[in-house]
Amino acid sequence: MNCDEFVELVTAFLDGALDPAAEERFIEHLALCEGCERYLEQFRTTIAELGELPPEPLSPAVRTDLLDAFRDWHRG
């Protein structure tokens, strides 16, 4: 496997979606290539950082409106 092929298969590898033969070639390349090992690690870091984005809450006014609407719907 070449590096330019490896970089396109990273998400499939992380999802466990590669077929056994491709996965074997992927891991074989990973063991030999420092650049790709680093690329994979940086992909993992990227995914972890995406998961760190703080939640964006609804504005309090919209939230209150929705809670009121729920109450009204069930009262009516």
Residues lying near another protein in the complex (CB under 8 A): 2-5, 7-8, 10-12, 15, 17, 33-36, 38-39, 42-59, 62-63, 65-67, 69-71, 73-75
* Nearest by Cα to 37 from 5, 1, 12, 7: 7
**Number of neighbouring beta carbons within 10 Å of residue 6:** 20
CA dihedral 26, 32, 33, 38 (to 10 degrees): 80
For another protein, the closer CB: 24 or 63 = 63
In the complex, the smallest distance separating the C-beta of residue 17 from another protein, rounded to whole angstroms, is: 6
In the complex, minimum distance from the CB of residue 16 to another protein, in angstroms, rounded to a whole number = 10
